[in-house]
Structure 1
Amino acid sequence: MKKKVLIALLALTVAVSAMGCGSKKSDSEDSTKAKTESSSEEEKTAEEVETDSDGHVVAVDTDDITKYVTLGDYKNLSVKVPKTEVTDDSISEYINEQLTYKPEEITEDRAVQENDTVNIDYTGYMDGKEFSGGSATDTDLLIGSGQFIDGFESGLIGAKKGDEVTLNLKFPDPYQNNPDFSGKDVQFKVKINKISQPAELTDEWVSNNSDVKTVDEYKAEVKATLETSADMEYNNNKKSNLFEALVNKTEISEYPDDLMEAAKEKVEKQFENYYAKPSGMTLDEYWKSQSITEDQASQYIEAQAQTNLKQNMIVQAVLDAEGITFTKDEYREQLDKFAKEYGFKDAEALEQAYTDAELVKDNVLWSKVCDILEKYGTITDVAEDETTDETTTDSNTAESSDSTETTADGETQTAN
């Protein structure tokens, strides 16, 4: 089971989705692959991250950050953070997902059901003619996964192995994957090659699909992994909530032109390296492929750059207020700590996964500042499904009888 990597400041996948691009699971997987595979001569190694005139690694390089940032009271923040409890039900849910995504071919003569995986050949027709990208052979499809347009998967339920099914459907409007198809009628002819169903949880399945041998060992492994993931999610939410609370208390009077231009160049380069280049496109070609106009792209890049710059300016303001600086060697120590906190073996492993050293640096310094906010602040744990104002400044509003509260001195007490 893969560890979840949480990068805090810039989530490019979310950014693209916000602009109206595809948000299907496959898009997310492609972006993750791009992160690990894309490389550029213009990207820096950790040893080459930008420093100020004193040789310090900084979030923003300016002589006096207080000219632009009126920092809120970062020593008295109080936030609520949802805490996930790993239960028997959540363990079973995870295991059932694994059994569903690693199915076994059925031998009996029965029809396709929900949660079956079918192997199919299909051909798409529009106005009576085959269209590009509408056909494939030997394709596995999980019924109910939502990978295909509405009506495709449900239209196969009831068919048997060897059947040929004709589906008369309509593309959604809008259809982001290909706007030219939006709202158009389409016909698919589908052949069912084989049907598989979710596997049964047995020692044999466990032995073939994990590093342990028995069902009991597998359940224990899943529990440990889910608990680690929950801890990482809790830690990230804690940091995010604290920083958001500080942002809400802080005022930015001005964004220096040189810093803003550099921030825009950074965002544009990230889109180019993470999305356009892995697709074999220029950035302009990528925008067009996503039906994003030049003006829309420009407006988004500027807005995202301002968001990133605001966060970095606040980070620098806290570091300056605390009198904290980092030589390259000291930054390297922080990078290694950050890497291990987010599930990597060490800094080198993180750098292999995220080759953009400047983006990683932004996150490392952000995380350090969040640790400072936590040291001074008050954290109230709440149940995951409890509706709360995560950035509240009144810790006494916690209503959960089993909530816990961590005070500035690190002690834990019951929150009444």
Structure 2
Amino acid sequence: MKKKLTAIALAACLAMTVIGCSNNGNTDNKTATQASGEKSSEASTELTMGEFKGSDYVTKLDYKNLTVAKSAVEVTDDQVKSQVQSALLDANLVEVKDRAIKSGDTANIDYVGKIDGKEFEGGSDKGYDLVIGSGSFIPGFEDGLIGKESGKTVDVKVTFPDPYSGNADLSGKDAVFTVTINSIKVQPEYTDELVASKTDYKTIKEYEQSIKDSLYNSKLQSAISSALIDACTVSGYPESLTAYYKQSVINYYTQMATAYGYESYEAAITAMGYKAEDFIKEQSESAARRTLALRYIEEKENMKAESDAVDQWLEDYAKENNMEVSALKQNNSQDTINDAYLEQQVLDFLKKFVKTTEETETSQAATTASK
């Protein structure tokens, strides 16, 4: 059954396709396959970013006078709460066996959907963790599990919405899902003791402050990236760079289409309200312009990827993201790692100069820069 695909994936797509670039103009060994987390073989024919210098394409970029809107970097209590829920509470669910399903519970289920007694494509899954009341599945499915006990198998009768964007052939049709409830889990009590046992912090206050700081830093870097794209004027793009990002966007939305049950990446993009061809062109050119801007700054500020500094950065990055350094090195070329390091150096450098303004001031500045 298709879950909902929303425009929130746009930000994830841009973050995925945007990768730091080296400052020396050497051929970048990253491929569009590696952008999606896979390591390509030496015989791979996948696209690469190619060899280019930012200064050959950037005609205007006042990178020491960037502005970002206050609203773009503001961290709300709800955002902190959401992070606590996903990173701590949802990650440490506790199984309950003495009661039936309630709204808010996480039910691990196997299900098989049938229309007119026949199974249909995308209507079955096993071991799926469904948060009851989240609206992840079509109307009626989650409500049909409330009050049911773990270990039971039940039939849930539903009607697909009409129209149904996921698959027009299912629009308005009645279906029966045979659902086996494997387990029922709930969030643990949120206490200092839980925080101390599951994180590097001793109290809720310390933990939430760390989340707030992390969210602010992430928002600031994202806002700086957007400001760079707006402020950067280019004479054109290296053909290899736009081709690389075009393929990266297609790869990403092909994966999204599979995960959400769409027939193709075009269908997934269309479901979000965009024309696929225009969307891909816009995203790939934005990512390419950001890469050119980053490389331009690396060149102007004479930034280098010294091996000792890169190794230390990689260790810190792996620790912060619960990864193994060995896995990062296995799945990425040294050029890729160096470029990621340099990108972070540029963003940290720009934080010293960026100004935070009201929304209207930022919009006016972006309009002026684009003229």
**Does 2:309 match 1:333?**
yes
Q: CA deviation at 1:126?
A: 1.0
Amino acid at match of 1:149: I
Amino acid at match of 1:103: V
Measured in 2, the distance between the counterparts of 1:310 and 1:80 equals 21
Q: Structure 1-normalised TM-score?
A: 0.57
| Contact kept in structure 1, 2:245 and 2:288, CA below 8 Å | no
**Does 2:13 match 1:12?**
yes
2:96 to 105, 123, 138: 105
Amino acid at match of 1:308: A
Partner of residue 4, structure 1? none
Q: Structure 2-normalised TM-score?
A: 0.63
Partner of residue 236, structure 2? 255
Partner of residue 368, structure 1? 345
Amino acid at match of 1:376: F
CA pair 345-286 structure 1, distance change in 2 beyond 3 A: same
SS at match of 1:220: coil
| Contact kept in structure 1, 2:54 and 2:293, CA below 8 Å | no
SS at match of 1:145: coil
Partner of residue 270, structure 1? 248
**Does 2:276 match 1:305?**
no
Q: CA deviation at 1:75?
A: 2.9
RMSD: 5.2
Measured in 1, the distance between the counterparts of 2:82 and 2:229 equals 37
SS at match of 2:177: strand
Partner of residue 404, structure 1? none
Amino acid at match of 1:220: K
Measured in 1, the distance between the counterparts of 2:106 and 2:240 equals 48
CA pair 337-112 structure 1, distance change in 2 beyond 3 A: closer
Amino acid at match of 1:170: F
**Does 2:183 match 1:212?**
no
Q: CA deviation at 1:272?
A: 6.9
| Contact kept in structure 2, 1:339 and 1:345, CA below 8 Å | no
Measured in 1, the distance between the counterparts of 2:54 and 2:182 equals 64
Q: Deviations over 1:269-293 (max 9, x none)?
A: 435766769999xxxx95478587x
Q: CA deviation at 1:372?
A: 3.2
Partner of residue 173, structure 2? 184
CA pair 389-351 structure 1, distance change in 2 beyond 3 A: farther
Q: CA deviation at 1:42?
A: 5.3
| Contact kept in structure 1, 2:55 and 2:296, CA below 8 Å | no
CA pair 187-390 structure 1, distance change in 2 beyond 3 A: farther
Partner of residue 157, structure 2? 167
Measured in 1, the distance between the counterparts of 2:83 and 2:295 equals 45
Show the 5 A alignment for 1:320-359.
Answer: 320=299, 322-326=300-304, 329-330=305-306, 333=309, 336-337=312-313, 340=316, 343=320, 348=325, 351-352=328-329, 355=332
SS at match of 2:306: helix
| Contact kept in structure 2, 1:344 and 1:350, CA below 8 Å | no
CA pair 104-137 structure 1, distance change in 2 beyond 3 A: same
Partner of residue 147, structure 1? 136
Structure exhibiting the larger radius of gyration computed from Cα positions: 1
Measured in 2, the distance between the counterparts of 1:200 and 1:377 equals 40
Q: CA deviation at 1:238?
A: 2.3
Measured in 2, the distance between the counterparts of 1:371 and 1:90 equals 27
| Contact kept in structure 2, 1:118 and 1:192, CA below 8 Å | yes
| Contact kept in structure 2, 1:340 and 1:346, CA below 8 Å | no
1:123 to 112, 120, 128: 112
Q: CA deviation at 1:227?
A: 3.3
Measured in 2, the distance between the counterparts of 1:227 and 1:377 equals 23
Measured in 1, the distance between the counterparts of 2:324 and 2:127 equals 41
Comparing 237-246 with 358-367, which one deviates more in the overlay?
A: 358-367
Q: CA deviation at 1:79?
A: 3.8
Q: Which runs of 5+ in 2 are unaligned?
A: 1-9, 18-34, 366-371
Measured in 2, the distance between the counterparts of 1:126 and 1:85 equals 44
Q: CA deviation at 1:307?
A: 1.1
Q: CA deviation at 1:114?
A: 0.8
CA pair 369-116 structure 1, distance change in 2 beyond 3 A: closer
Measured in 2, the distance between the counterparts of 1:330 and 1:118 equals 49
Amino acid at match of 2:115: M
Amino acid at match of 2:245: V
| Contact kept in structure 2, 1:126 and 1:187, CA below 8 Å | yes
Partner of residue 85, structure 2? 94
2:213 to 192, 214, 231: 231
SS at match of 2:351: helix
CA pair 180-69 structure 1, distance change in 2 beyond 3 A: farther
CA pair 189-352 structure 1, distance change in 2 beyond 3 A: same
Measured in 1, the distance between the counterparts of 2:141 and 2:252 equals 31
| Contact kept in structure 2, 1:76 and 1:377, CA below 8 Å | yes
Q: CA deviation at 1:300?
A: 4.0
